[in-house]
Chains A and B, each alone.
Chain A
Amino acid sequence: MTLSVQHLWLIPALPLAAAAVGAVLPRSGRVPAASAAIAAMGAAFVLSCLALNGALADPARHAVHNFAWFDLGHGAVMLGWLLDPLTAFMCVMVTFVGLLIFVFSLGYMRDDPHFARFFCFLSLFAAAMLGLLVANSLLLLFICWELVGLASYLLIGFWFHRPAAAAAAKKAFLTTRLGDLGFLLGLLWLYDSAGSLLFYDAGRGVLESGVLAGLTAQTVAGGLALSTAIGLLLFCGAVGKSGQFPLHVWLPDAMEGPTPVSALIHAATMVAAGVFLVARLYPLMAADQALAAVPVHALTVVALIGAVTALLGAVIAVAQDDIKRVLAFSTVSQLGYMMLALGVGAWTAAIFHLLTHAFFKALLFLGAGSVIHAAHHEQDIRRLGGLRTRLPATYRTFVIGMMALAGVPFLFSGFWSKEAILHAAHGWTVSPLPLWAGLAAVALTAFYMTRLVAETFFGSPRSPAAAHAEESPAVMRIPLVLLAGCAILLGFLGTPAWPWLQARLAGAPLHGSLEHLFEGGGLMLLSIALVGAGIGLGWRFYGRRPRASAAAADPLAAASPTLMAALAARLGCDEFYAATVGRLHALAAAVADGLDRWVLGAAVSGVGLLGQFGGVVSRENDEGALNGGFDAAGAGLRGAGRSYARAQTGRVHGYLRALAVAFVVLGLVLLAGGVP
C-alpha cells in the first residue's frame, strides 16, 4: 500500500486541521485539543510510512504533482508536491519524532493553563514543517518556511509573560528573518532567471539539468556563476534557520521555550529545515562544481561555514552550565557537521546524520525535559547531581543518547553517521580544514557530553530540588525508551558495509558487503581514539571526583579561568553584535535624527518624505540590529522615532497633499527624463 503523490498534501493537512481545531477550542478543551493533535500526528505518521513505501519502490524517481496556484501575467504561479526518498524519510522522521514529543508533552505540560493552545501551536509547527518537506516549489517551501518561523516564534515565546522568553522569541524570529531576507532575494532572482520555482517539472524545473545549465552559463559580478550567487543567497536562509555561524545566536536562547518545544526545534523540525533546504537544492548548489574558472564554489562556502560552526558550537558547549544550553550548543555543532557534509559533497551522509541526530537529540532533550520536570524546573547542572538512582529510566535512556551523540563506536547510530561525514571530509580535496574541525569536534563532543552526564547524574544531589526528584510518569518515559531504541538501531541503516539509506536517498543501487565495513580504517581508528580521549578526560575531570557543592569551582575553570570565562560567555558573540551592529544602528539613527531636525523648518511635505525615508532606513537598521543588543539601540531608536513622529501631524490633508506633490514631482521627473 502506498500513498500517491497527488495525496501527499494530506500529510501536512492533518496537523493543520488539528491546529485549526485547537485554535477554535476554548481554554478548557484540553482533551480534545491534545487528542486531535496526537491523532493527526499519528495519522500523518502512517501516511508518511505509506509514502516512504511508495518512494522506495523506485528511489531514483522524483514523483511530482504540480498545479497552478494563480495566474500572473503570462504564466501561472505553480505549486506542487514532490515525493522522493528524501521527502519520505524526512516525513517519517518528523512525524515519528513529533508524535513522541507530542505524547511526552502530555506529561510535561500537564499543569500548564494554556495546554490547548500549546497543542494548537505544536500542530501548526508540525504542519508547516511537513508542508516544507512535501513542497515541490521553492515558493511553497518558502511559505512553509516562514510558517515554521512564525510557529517557532509562538512556541519559544509560549511563556511570553517571562521577559526572557519573549525576548528569545523575538530574537529567534528576527535573526532567522535576516537569513530569510537572503532566501527571499535568492528566490526572486531564481524566478527571474529561471522563470519557474518548481523543483522538478518534466525538464523545466530548477533542479533539472536544462535549467541548471542555463544558470551556470551566466556569470554575475565578481565572476561568480549565477547558480553560485543564487545558491549562496538561498543558503543564507539555511544559515539562519539551522543556526549556522554567524547567525547561531538565537538557538541557545530559544531554550526559553518549554522543553518539548526545544526538542521539536532542535531535533526534528526547525533546524533540520535548513539542512533539508540545502539537501533539496543540492543539484543547484553543486551545479558550479564543474566550472573551474569561478572564484569560489557554493559548496565550499557551505563546507567552511559548517566546519566553523561545528567547532565553535562544540567549544562553547564545554563551558555551559545549563543542561539545555549544553544540548543547544551541541545542536549547533552537529548542524555544523551536517552542513560540512553537504559542503563536501556527501549530502546523503548529511541526511543520514540528520536522521540519526533527530532521534538521539530528541531523546536527549526529552531526557533533559524529564530531568527538569523531575527536579522542579531546575536546569543548572551545578545544582543537580546524583539523579542516577532517583531517575533510573531517564538515566539509562539519557546515557544511550549521550553515547550516540558522542559517537561511541559500533553500537550507536551517531557513530556511523559521524563516521560517514568524516570519511567524506577526508576525501575532500579543497581544504583539510573541515576534517580537522570535525575531528576536534568529535573529541570535544565526547568531552562535554561526559561532563553533562557526570554532573547531572553522578555524585550527590547539590540542591533540595535535585534531592527530591521523582521519576517522571509513564507517558514521558515511554517516548524516551522508544527514542533510545531508535538511537541505537537507526545507525545500522547506513553502515559502510550496508549503506542502504544512502543508496536509497541517492537512488543508486546498493552495494553492500562486509569488507566495506572498515573502509578507511585509519580515520575510524583515529576518531575512536578521540572519542575515547574525550570521554576519558571528561570522566577524569568530572566523574571521578564529583564536585561537592553547587558553588564549587569547575575543575576546568580552575585550570584556565580566562578561557573558561570566555567560553561561558559564548565567545562574546552577542556582545560583539551589540557593539558593532547595534552601534551602527544608533549612529544611523542619530544621523537621521539630526537630518530631521535640520529639515524641520522646511516644507511639511519635505519633512514627510524625508521622515518616511528615514523611517525605512531606520527599519532596515532595526532588523540588522535586533539580532544584537536591543538595549543599546533602544535609546537612539526612541529619539529618532520621536523626531519622525513630528512629521506625522495627524492631518489627513497634509498627507494627501504630500502625496499629490510627490506625484507631480515624479511625473515631472519622468517627463523630463523622456519616459513617455
Chain B
Amino acid sequence: MSPLHLCLLLSTGLFCIGLAGALSRSNAILVLLGIELMLNAANLNFIAFWRYGPAPSAGAGVVFVIFTIAVAAAEAAVGLALVIALHRHRRNLRLPEATRLKG
C-alpha cells in the first residue's frame, strides 16, 4: 500500500466522519461543520494527488485547494448567517423541525 493509498483512506475517513455528523446531528451548526469536514476531505485529496501525482510542479492541486478554502470560507459565512436567521425566526436550530420551505 503506497502512501497515496493511505492519504486517500485518511481523506475517506474524514469524509465519512463529516457525512455521519451531518446526517446524524440535528443542530444546524453541526450539520454545517460536518459539511466543512467533507470539504476538507476533498482538499486533502487534492493535496495528496498533487504530492504523489505525476506532475506536481503544475500546482493545480494547490491552486484548487486555495480556491476551495476561499469557497468554504464564503460558505461558512453565509451558512452561519443563515443559522442566525433561522434562530431568529424559530428560536431553535433543530433542522428536522425546519420544514417551512416544504413545497
- Is chain B in direct contact with chain A in the complex (CB below 8 A)? yes
- The number of residue pairs between A and B whose CB atoms lie closer than 8 Å in the complex comes to 32
A660-B19, A660-B23 known; A653-B103 Cβ under 8 A:
no
| Complex Cα gap A653–B95 (Å) | 8
Q: Does A657 contact B (CB under 8 A)?
A: yes
Most buried by B among A644, A646, A652, A657: A652
Q: Does B102 contact A (CB under 8 A)?
A: yes
| Complex Cα gap A644–B31 (Å) | 26
| Complex Cα gap A653–B19 (Å) | 10
Q: Does B1 contact A (CB under 8 A)?
A: no
| Complex Cα gap A652–B95 (Å) | 7
Task: Output the nearest chain A residue to B101 by Cβ-Cβ distance.
Answer: A650
Task: Output the nearest chain B residue to A659 by Cβ-Cβ distance.
Answer: B19
Q: Does A645 contact B (CB under 8 A)?
A: yes
| Complex Cα gap A646–B22 (Å) | 23
Q: Does B100 contact A (CB under 8 A)?
A: yes
- Chain A contact-residue range equals 10 to 19
Task: Output the nearest chain B residue to A645 by Cβ-Cβ distance.
Answer: B103
Please, which residues of chain A bring their CB within 8 A of the CB of B103? 644-646, 648, 650
Q: Does B99 contact A (CB under 8 A)?
A: yes
Q: By the criterion CB–CB under 8 Å, are B96 and A651 in contact? A: yes
Q: Does A656 contact B (CB under 8 A)?
A: yes
**Cβ-defined partner of A648 (8 Å) among B22, B31, B96, B102:** B102
Interface 0/1 of A626-669, CB less than 8 Å to B: 00000000000000000011101111110011001000000000
**Cβ-defined partner of B100 (8 Å) among A645, A650, A660:** A650
**Cβ-defined partner of B99 (8 Å) among A644, A651, A660:** A651
| Complex Cα gap A644–B103 (Å) | 9
Q: By the criterion CB–CB under 8 Å, are A653 and B99 in contact? A: no
Q: Chain B's nearest CB lies how many Å from the CB of A506? A: 47
Q: Does B74 contact A (CB under 8 A)?
A: no
Please, which residues of chain B bring their CB within 8 A of the CB of A645? 102-103
| Complex Cα gap A126–B22 (Å) | 50
Please, which residues of chain B bring their CB within 8 A of the CB of A651? 95-96, 99
Q: Chain A's nearest CB lies how many Å from the CB of B102? A: 4
| Complex Cα gap A644–B102 (Å) | 11
Which residues in chain B, 10-37, are within 8 Å of chain A measured between CB atoms? Answer: 19, 22-23, 31
Q: Chain B's nearest CB lies how many Å from the CB of A612? A: 13
| Complex Cα gap A652–B97 (Å) | 10
Interface 0/1 of A113-137, CB less than 8 Å to B: 0000000000000000000000000
| Complex Cα gap A645–B98 (Å) | 16
| Complex Cα gap A588–B55 (Å) | 50
Please, which residues of chain A bring their CB within 8 A of the CB of B99? 649-651
| Complex Cα gap A649–B103 (Å) | 7
Residues of B within 8 A of A (CB): 19, 22-23, 31, 95-96, 98-103
Additional A-B contact list (19), CB under 8 Å, known A649-B102, A650-B102, A652-B95: A644-B103, A645-B102, A646-B103, A648-B102, A648-B103, A650-B100, A651-B95, A651-B99, A653-B22, A653-B23, A653-B31, A653-B95, A653-B96, A656-B19, A656-B22, A656-B23, A657-B23, A660-B19, A660-B23
Q: Sort A-B residue pairs by CB-CB distance and give the 7 closest, nearest first.
A: A645-B103, A650-B102, A650-B99, A648-B103, A650-B101, A652-B95, A649-B102
What are 21 contact pairs spanning A and B, CB under 8 A?
Answer: A644-B103, A645-B103, A648-B101, A650-B99, A650-B100, A650-B102, A651-B95, A651-B96, A651-B99, A652-B31, A652-B95, A653-B22, A653-B23, A653-B31, A653-B95, A653-B96, A656-B19, A656-B22, A656-B23, A657-B23, A660-B23
